[in-house]
Structure 1
Amino acid sequence: MADWDGHGLPPVAAERARRAAAGGAWTSLLSAPAAAGLQVAGFEPVGEVMGSMVQQIGWTGYQGCGIYGGVYGGAYGGWATPTITSSAPTRFAGFRPYVDALYRGYGTAMSRMAQEAATIGADGVVGVGLVMSQLDGGAREFTALGTGVRARGSVRPSRIFSTHLPGQDVAKLVAAGWMPTDLVYGISVAIRHDDWQTRQQAAWGAGNTEVTGYTELISHTRADARHRLAGHVRESGADGAIVSSMDLHAWEIEPGENHRDHVAEAAVFGTALVRFHTDTAAPTRTLTYLPLR
């Protein structure tokens, strides 16, 4: 077998998709309510699909004192210093290479999942789960896993759609005139130097007081992640999005002795939607129930 050059599907994944496309028994991650909901919406499952990528993240970017953010529109040290996000238009944007690596990892996994779905004749993927797992060292695996579905009618999507929503929720959206298009996300990492004011507010004995520097760090990071999510929605040509998760965690680094900065990472994931009809009354199509008598 020839060495894989990293383009397209990995050989093992391509062979799995080829066997699925050839027919026979299919697998599904759908629950019974999800499968029934998809039937109501005019879709049928065609197989489980997955995309995966392992990426070594050996360079996360400039992590050194957040005080240098003062070069970007803030005070240089002293009473208060600015929060610098990975989207900031400055070379001191901190963890931008790390955030770019996360985007590349998730994007590649979803692209390969969509390729598998297209290979087996699916029109979309529902119930998609996105997972990032830590492997040895700095290696991380990005995985996208869902169930490929095909439209039974003559009207077919122009490209593969993907959504984190389960089948019954997709059915409700379609009945209401909405169609999921893409999984969308926004990720941001920000750094802030623990300046004099922050150290005083966070010191032992300060009492029950707000640490305004930490509030600013968390607020800026979440806001930047949401801004990037909105940009992803616009790029997809969608009208809006349903958010599925909004995660945040923070940690501290010590660039030098008695010198501490705090870092926050925020990630927002969701499904972009487009409107395809605006009727006030939704279709009344339902499943048929038979009495067990």
Structure 2
Amino acid sequence: MSFFGGNRGNTGAQSVVQTTHGGVPVDAISRLRRMRGEGGKPLFTSDLSVSEFVLLKELGMEPLGLVLGSSIYHVGIQYANYYANSELGVLTQAMYQARELAMARMEEEAATLGADGIVGVRLEVGGYAWAANALEFTAIGTAVGAPQGNDYRTPHGKPFTSDLSVQDFYKLHEAGYIPAELVLGTCVYHIAHQGFMQSMRTLGNNIELPNYTEAIYDARELAMSRMQAEAESHAAEGVVGMQIVEKNHIWQPHIIEFLAIGTSIIKRAQSKGVRPQFQIGLND
């Protein structure tokens, strides 16, 4: 797979970026292999704080490298009835597919490092002025390696993914649980506009707006049920650190994406109990 760039009017050589089958640039794979120690001394990169780095080492785990996946995705067009609440399935599918591409590329980078998991995963969505109808989806986190003899990978042999901080990961580990996968559910929803008579009836009154209430309820439920289905598909015991995020992105105000996201966990061992730690504040 290759991406071709350059000015159409330029008759010279075009730039070519070679990528893996999954879409990760070959140059990135070469860099990650050097980080593993091929041809020299191993070197890690991370977005961990010093405290997180020390806490990770206390678990016997090693940071291996900052890994990321990216996809700039053209989001299609779908029209909706101006006065009807409805999910916009085409847009929902686009948001799913773009995030999956970014996540898969991040996981491929982690696998290149020989990682057992990825902690502190962030899923970000942004845009560029030169691509008005496109969004960049980015997945980024720190790949980690587990102690010898400990298998933290998923049943499919992939590194676990988690948006938990290292502090929360440590507490989870001490309680006998491990992260399985970052699970999400999304729903892009058109919230119906009020008709003229409905607007007049509510003018100056304290009154519930049923069409808005029902739309928000329905959209959130769709997102949450899809996230729950992902967790159920790999026999998770639960989902922790869950968030529900609502954004308009590049659409008009009545079209909103509802994203439910969290880390699914599975029971691994008996709880060790989190050891109390003595701390002294140095502030006046």
**TM above 0.5, one fold?**
yes
1:96 aligns with 2:89: yes
Cα gap change, 1:212/1:250 in structure 2, threshold over 3 Å: closer, same or farther? farther
Alignment of structure 1 residues 1-293 onto 2, 5 Å:
4=18, 7-8=21-22, 9-21=24-36, 22=38, 23-57=41-75, 59-61=76-78, 63-65=79-81, 83-85=85-87, 95-135=88-128, 136-158=131-153, 159-194=158-193, 196=195, 199-201=197-199, 205-249=203-247, 262-279=254-271, 281-282=272-273
Deviation at 1:153, TM superposition (A): 3.1
What is the alpha-carbon distance in structure 2 between the residues aligned to residue 44 and residue 199 of structure 1?
Answer: 63
Deviations 1:239-279, CA, capped at 9 Å, x for gaps = 1111342112469x99xxxxxx9433211111111111244
Paired with 1:221 and 1:132, the residues of 2 have a C-alpha distance of 19
Q: Give identity over the alignment, percent.
A: 30
- Give me the whole-angstrom Cα distance separating, in 2, the residues matched to 1:139 and 1:6: 23
Structure 2: give runs of 5+ residues left out of the alignment. Answer: 1-14, 279-284
Go from structure 1 to structure 2 and tell me whether the alpha carbon gap of 1:96 and 1:202 turns closer, same or farther (over 3 Å shift).
farther
Tell me, in whole angstroms, the C-alpha distance in 2 between the residues paired with 1:157 and 1:247: 28
* Secondary structure of the structure 1 residue equivalent to 2:186: strand
Q: 2:63 is matched by which residue type in structure 1?
A: P
Distance 1:139 1:191, change over 3 A: closer
Q: Which runs of at least 4 in structure 1 moved beyond 6 Å after TM superposition? A: none
In 2, the alpha carbon distance for the partners of 1:202 and 1:52 equals 47
Relative to 1, partners in 2 of residues 1:152 and 1:277: Cα closer, same or farther, differing over 3 Å?
closer
Residue pair 1:51, 1:113 contacting (<8 A) in 2 also: yes
- Counterpart position of 1:89: none
- In the alignment, the residues of structure 2 paired with residue 29 and residue 234 of structure 1 have an alpha-carbon distance, to the nearest angstrom, of 30
Tell me the SS of whatever aligns to 2:198: helix
Structure with the bigger RCO (C-alpha within 8 Å, sep 6+) is 1
- Number of residue-to-residue matches in the alignment: 253
Q: TM-score, normalised by structure 1?
A: 0.76
Structure 1: runs of 5+ lacking an equivalent: 68-80, 86-94, 255-260, 288-293
SS of 1:137's equivalent in the other structure is strand
Look up the match of 1:78.
Answer: none
The alignment's TM-score, normalised by the length of structure 2, stands at: 0.79
